[in-house]
Chain A
Amino acid sequence: MPDPTPLSVVKLKPAERMKIPRQPMPARDAHIRAHEFGEVNLGLPELLAVEEAKRCLECKDRRCVNGCPVQIDIPSFVAALAAGDFPGAARVLFRDNALPGISGRVCPQEKQCESLCIRGKKGEPVAIGYLERFVADWAREHSANYAAAPAERRAEKIAIVGAGPAGLTAAGELARKGYDVTIFEALHEPGGVLVYGIPEFRLPKAIVRQEVDSLKDMGVKIECNVVIGRTYTIADLLNDEGFTAVFIANGAGLPMFLNIPGENFKGVYSANEFLTRVNLMKAYNPDSETPVLRPRQAVVVGGGNVAMDSVRTARRLGADPATLVYRRSRDEMPARLEEVHHAEEEGIVFQLLTNPLEILGDDKGWVRAMKCQRMELGEPDASGRRSPVPIAGSEFEIPCDVVVEAIGTRANPLLTQTTPDLKLDRRGNIIVDESGMTSKPGVFAGGDIVRGAATVILAMGDGKKTAAAMDAWLRARSGATA
């Protein structure tokens, strides 16, 4: 297809750019979407995407790029978009990010690139996230692969543990540098949290599959159902399977529980289990063979994105009300603002400054209610946040038949238990140096297994950064042995 005629033959003046208002993201109607799993955000249409791109002031110091964990050349792809050059925009974007359809949807842009946008000093920042998503979707819909072919072939084989955001990103980077890359994934489908955790209505699985497929097109091999630490050890990979370097990106998989009475009643889930049943195992489809308890009234505990995903999933499965219980106030919620807004529109009930005390069950072992207590904000704690303190005599019950605990995850010990020479911190996370290398030479690590539970884009940033460090290490090594 010939490239469309550039629209920016007429160069806009900054004042003209400043006049254009930020384009809102079209969304599926809240009353309808609260009962189905279709994607909420519909994406900007072409004309509005170009209009939005024209708002970029193309400033010299490119602060947005510094706010991006994967260092996307934002001004260049936005400029190409403003000029109507969609293939050009795609080439820039895919050069810096192998998974733009994913990050364009789930990145907290308002805290990263967009928070540093100069245009945002007066009025609203350029909607960089919407534009990233637009370009990724345009490329996918036009069946075009904009990933650059490797410049050379490298002899070394690299193993990546875990096909989540960090592992997939590193795989894309290393494949592009010409390495022979194999990802080992414990589950039956690649994607990690992108397929088991984040729901279809926020990140359609077809998008994940397509971006994973484009990695395969680049030569990345993915072996599913292989649990490193059990099926093979790290030593097997290095000594017997011919891998020269390993990148461990197996995530922070183990769910934490509140440790309150009643957590083992039937109907109490970790967010991991609830979301895995619904997303990966497709229990939202009543014909799925994996069952999930369909809540009539659900309570979800937590204030992060996983809590939002869980409570909105519970609502879609039929919970009325679906209630979110969070012990601090709205200002302290770690969830993205957009998710909080979407949840409110869908009728989620927010019980803020509320602390769960106990889960109550009936005589058959099923959940019947959650006993809570009201909190008020006291003095700031070590983190600078005002810590919640209980209000005496404020106990009350919320009737429910399903409880989902979304209070965080910690390091999965499966791999580290069988790799004794990896240094861990006291929480069980792997310790790495600035380059991302662990205490074991040639073995690198990144993402949640190093940071503790964080975000998709920080894991992607680790994947990209560590891939560069691995490349440097391998080149130094081959130079030394040559």
Chain B
Amino acid sequence: MPHRILQADWLAPEVKRFVIEAPHVVRHVGPGQFVIVRVVPDGERIPLTIAHPDRAAGTVTLIVQAVGATTRRFCAMQAGDTVADVCGPLGKPTEIENVGHAVIVGGGVGTAVIFPQAGALKAHGNIVSAIIGGRSKPYVILEKELSEVCDAVYPCTDDGSHGFHGFVTDRLRKLIDDSHSPGQPVKLVLCAGPVPMMRAVAELTRPMGIHTVASLNPIMVDGTGMCGGCRIQVDGKMNFACVDGPEFDAHAVDFRELSDRLTAYRPAEHAARERVSAEPCRISGCVETAASKP
């Protein structure tokens, strides 16, 4: 059944936000869950986190970065267009409780994952700090939206063009150090973003014994436990990110393996991207591929 795109706007170069009609998906949705989208009939199935479910309107907000063939095609779409399928919600919702002070860390489009967690953590009475990163100012997303929900938002850029100059982990270290003095020690870190970022967050918090949860983004086909392509070692045991996750104890995840398995289709993806690039480009507002993330 086709799903209408009600709103579409660029959040950052090559990063677009869509509000899509999907009343069936929002009935039982929770933070951290995702949908599988097929943009066109016969297209690929891609997992995308639900950045914001709106039960009253019957819509989901999805934030898409144009990296591969399918996401480039998706980002060429406008309000009024339709996508072929939206299936979900999938995965387990984030376990939210009152811990005191929780920090959510988002890198790039990973910020779309932590955004709904912010509201849920707040609703449970937590102090919520958000650390969000990007290469430079235009790549830091959802800062305004997060600042409406969180107690504090710390944007970070690699080049210092906005907020903190440095990696999100550097800012996280500073926040943890500072937070000891006013009596609000960090009890929980939730992170989502590129694998090296999540691994660095896990390594930072491990010696401090701060419970840290990472939302993983492995390759998957069906999203319902059927293919096993998203299998991931957690504490030495095989887990399926789609049904056992996508969130896991970051201190137990084998990030090296996750990172390696994500490269399985890189040559094929490259070829597919070339094919889509050869199609007439309708991605208005997109920055050329030189600026795209690896």
Contacts and interface: CB of A to CB of B under 8 A. Distances in A.
Interface of A: 186-188, 196, 223-227, 230-233, 236, 253-255, 257, 259, 263-264, 266-267, 269-270, 272-273, 276-277, 281-282, 288-291, 293, 365, 412-414
A224 B85 contact: yes
Nearest to A225: B87
B261 interface: yes
Interface in B49-95: 69-70, 84-90
Contacts of B25: 231
A227 B90 contact: yes
A249 to B, nearest CB: 15
Given A227-B224, A281-B45, A273 B264 contact: no
A280 B215 CA distance: 28
Nearest to B39: A289
Contact of B226 (A236, A255, A259): A255
Contacts of B85: 188, 224-225
A259 B25 CA distance: 35
Given A231-B88, A414-B243, 14 more contacts: A186-B222, A188-B38, A227-B87, A230-B28, A236-B27, A253-B224, A253-B225, A254-B240, A273-B221, A276-B222, A282-B42, A289-B42, A290-B44, A291-B268
B221 A281 contact: yes
A186 B86 contact: no
Contacts of B199: none
The 3 A-B pairs of least Cβ separation, nearest first, read A291-B268, A273-B227, A225-B87
B245 to A, nearest CB: 13
A281 B87 CA distance: 16
15 contacts: A186-B224, A230-B28, A230-B90, A231-B27, A233-B28, A264-B231, A264-B257, A270-B228, A270-B229, A273-B227, A281-B45, A290-B221, A293-B264, A293-B265, A412-B225
Contacts of A223: 1
A412 B227 contact: no
A481 B212 CA distance: 55
Contact of A257 (B24, B84, B238): B238
A231 B228 contact: no
A154 B104 CA distance: 54
A230 B240 CA distance: 16
B2 to A, nearest CB: 11
Nearest to B92: A417
A291 B263 contact: no
Contacts, number: 116
Interface residues of B, number: 42
B238 A289 contact: no
B1 A413 contact: no
Interface string B23-42: 01101100000001010001
A276 B227 contact: yes
A interface: dominant SS = loop
A382 B44 CA distance: 45
Residue of A226, A236, A270, A291 most packed against chain B (CB within 10 A): A291
Given A266-B260, A289-B69, A290-B45, A225 B1 contact: yes
B123 interface: no
Contacts of A273: 221, 227-229
B87 to A, nearest CB: 4
Nearest to B70: A289
A257 B228 contact: yes
B227 to A, nearest CB: 4
A230 B89 contact: yes
A264 B228 CA distance: 11
Contacts of B38: 188
B233 interface: yes
Contacts of B24: 226, 231-232
A230 B43 CA distance: 23
B272 interface: yes
Contacts of B88: 227, 230-231
B158 interface: no
A291 B261 contact: no
A226 B269 CA distance: 28
Contact of A272 (B1, B36, B227, B238): B227
B110 to A, nearest CB: 23
A6 B228 CA distance: 54
A131 to B, nearest CB: 34
A365 B260 contact: yes
Nearest to B259: A365
Contacts of A269: 229
Nearest to A231: B24
A188 B224 CA distance: 12
B221 A276 contact: yes
A224 B36 CA distance: 12
A51 B225 CA distance: 47
A314 to B, nearest CB: 16
Contacts of A224: 1, 85
A291 B69 CA distance: 11
A282 B43 CA distance: 10
Contacts of B90: 227, 230
B269 to A, nearest CB: 7
Contacts of B42: 282, 288-289
A266 B226 contact: no
Contact of A291 (B45, B222, B231, B269): B269
B69 A264 contact: no
Nearest to A227: B224
Contacts of B44: 281, 289-290
